[in-house]
């Protein structure tokens, strides 16, 4: 560290200052020097993402390493994943609902201002994360949904309307229909036909109640039978920029063969992702219908605020869910303000990706239940 006296302007150094003035000036200069050294400590920037979405992490890294903001980088990273249709579960062309349609959920959160923008069950617009950012930038709302979200995005300049289905998604949907619409997300119901419409089992005595008890039982199954990485996944990304500011973002086309209108945890702040500039960030993936009931990422960040290390905070959040739903499938990553990161999972093996200054390229970490 430089000699503090040498940092004084010549006119001040030559002036006889009283002891109180010297103390205050010294304190101010010390704060400035320490702050400067901290900003160049080399621990930032950092990018962390669910799954081995390497190109998405690289895209975010290029932006943040060139001095752009954490929000800019997280939008660029998630946007890259949407364009690449990562695992078929992000962006257009994947995860058809029961009607064969693909819709988009996305979120962006600024950990400095705590502003959030999100879209859910958005039709006809392929750029989910960009639409979410527009909500955050240009409205006082947090979440827009459905066709109205699409209309807003188009009015703000995003391309659309666009058919979000693909030949792959339609082929998947056709085969599912041929398999009598199994598996699905209904419970305690009976179908009028093999693919619905469905009625509550209390209708068994009505004119629609012609299905057998066996048919009813076929619709009651373990959730894990239709939840997995390649049909029920989210990119959730956290970025620390060079100033140490944090942002998180998510994008997903939701659960495959979901009931139309379903919204998962992707656009829910505190569930799929959460960030606080003073603490750190979290990203989540898995069975969003279950996970959103526990707000695991909010739990992770608050645990770290209380002094818990990222690995323990992640494990604690997952264990809270597993105690109530032992068959659930999901995972979180946690990263604190120092850039220390960890992951935890239940029901599957989880991988998350990291890029930081000491790395030459993205590194993938594997976490077992």
Interval 94-142: pLDDT, tens: 899 999 999 999 999 999 999 999 999 999 999 999 999 999 999 999 9
- Has residue 232 got a pLDDT over 80? no
87: how many CB neighbours lie within 10 A of its CB?
20
Question: What is the domain partition of the chain in residue ranges?
Answer: 46-167+227-367
Separation between Cα atoms, residue 203 and residue 192, nearest integer Å? 10
Tell me the β-bridge partners of 283: 273, 333
For 302-326, write each residue's pLDDT tens digit: 999 999 999 999 999 999 999 999 9
Q: Quick one: tokens of 248? A: 């998180």
Q: What is the pLDDT of residue 26?
A: 44
By the 8 A CB rule, do 123 and 262 touch?
no
Phi, psi of 35 (to 5 degrees): -65, -40
Rounded to 10°, the helix 70-84/54-65 angle is 150
pLDDT of 31 above 50: no
Residues catalogued as catalytic? 234
Whether the CB-CB separation of 237 and 267 falls below 8 Å is answered with no
User: What are the pLDDT digits (tens) for 64-96?
Assistant: 999 999 999 999 999 999 999 998 899 899 899
pLDDT digits (tens, 9 = 90+) for 320-350: 999 999 999 999 999 999 999 999 999 999 9
Q: Is 327 annotated as a binding residue?
A: no
265: annotated binding-site residue?
yes
pTM more than 0.85: no
Q: What is the pLDDT, as a whole number, of residue 123?
A: 95
Interval 198-207 mean pLDDT: 70
Average pLDDT, the chain: 86
Q: Is 256 annotated as a binding residue?
A: no
- The reply to whether 94 sits in an annotated binding site is no
Q: Is 346 left (phi over 0), alpha (psi -120 to 50) or beta?
A: beta
CATH for 46-167+227-367 is 3.60.20.30
Question: Lowest mean pLDDT: which of 121-135, 176-190, 214-228, 340-354?
Answer: 214-228
The annotation status of 250 as a binding-site residue, yes or no, is no
* E-strand stretches of 66-203: 104-110, 116-122, 143-145, 189-191, 198-200
**Whether residue 13 has pLDDT greater than 80:** no
Strands 273-276, 143-145: pairing kind: unpaired
| Cβ-based neighbour number of residue 184 at 10 Å | 21
Is it the case that residue 146 has pLDDT exceeding 60? yes
Strands (E), 69-221: 104-110, 116-122, 143-145, 189-191, 198-200
Chain position carrying tokens 């500011």: 245
Extended strands (E) in 54-197: 104-110, 116-122, 143-145, 189-191
Q: Which one is predicted more confidently, 238 or 230?
A: 238
């Amino acid at each position: 560290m430089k000699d503090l006296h040498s940092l004084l302007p010549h006119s001040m150094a030559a002036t006889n200052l009283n002891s109180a003035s010297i103390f205050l000036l010294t304190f101010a200069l010390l704060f400035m020097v320490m702050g400067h050294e901290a900003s160049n400590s080399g621990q930032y920037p950092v990018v962390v993402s669910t799954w081995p979405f390497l190109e998405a992490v690289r895209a975010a890294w290029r932006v943040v390493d060139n001095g752009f903001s954490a929000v800019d980088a997280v939008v660029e990273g998630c946007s890259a994943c949407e364009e690449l249709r990562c695992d078929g579960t992000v962006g257009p062309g994947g995860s058809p609902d029961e009607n064969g349609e693909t819709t988009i959920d996305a979120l962006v959160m600024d950990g400095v201002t705590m502003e959030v923008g999100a879209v859910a069950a958005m039709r006809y617009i392929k750029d989910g994360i960009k639409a979410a950012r527009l909500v955050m930038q240009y409205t006082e709302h947090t979440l827009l949904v459905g066709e109205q979200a699409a209309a807003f995005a188009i009015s703000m300049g995003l391309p659309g309307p666009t058919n979000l289905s693909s030949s792959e998604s339609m082929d998947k949907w056709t085969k599912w229909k041929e398999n009598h619409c199994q598996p699905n997300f209904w419970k305690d119901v009976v179908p009028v036909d093999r693919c619905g419409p469905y009625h509550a089992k209390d209708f068994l005595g009505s004119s629609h109640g012609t299905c057998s008890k066996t048919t009813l039982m076929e619709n009651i199954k373990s959730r894990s039978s239709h939840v997995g990485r390649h049909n029920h996944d989210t990119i959730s990304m956290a970025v620390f920029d060079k100033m140490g500011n944090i942002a998180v973002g998510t994008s997903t086309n939701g659960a495959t063969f979901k009931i139309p209108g379903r919204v998962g945890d992707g656009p829910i702040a505190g569930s799929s992702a959460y960030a606080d500039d003073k603490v750190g960030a979290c990203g989540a993936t898995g069975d969003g219908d279950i996970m959103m009931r526990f707000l695991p990422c909010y739990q992770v960040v608050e645990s770290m605020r209380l002094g818990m290390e990222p690995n323990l905070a992640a494990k604690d959040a997952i264990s809270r869910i597993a105690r109530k739903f032992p068959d659930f499938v999901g995972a979180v990553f946690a990263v604190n303000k120092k850039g220390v990161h960890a992951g935890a999972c239940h029901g599957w093996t989880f991988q998350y990706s990291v890029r930081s200054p000491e790395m030459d390229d993205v590194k993938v970490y594997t976490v077992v239940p």
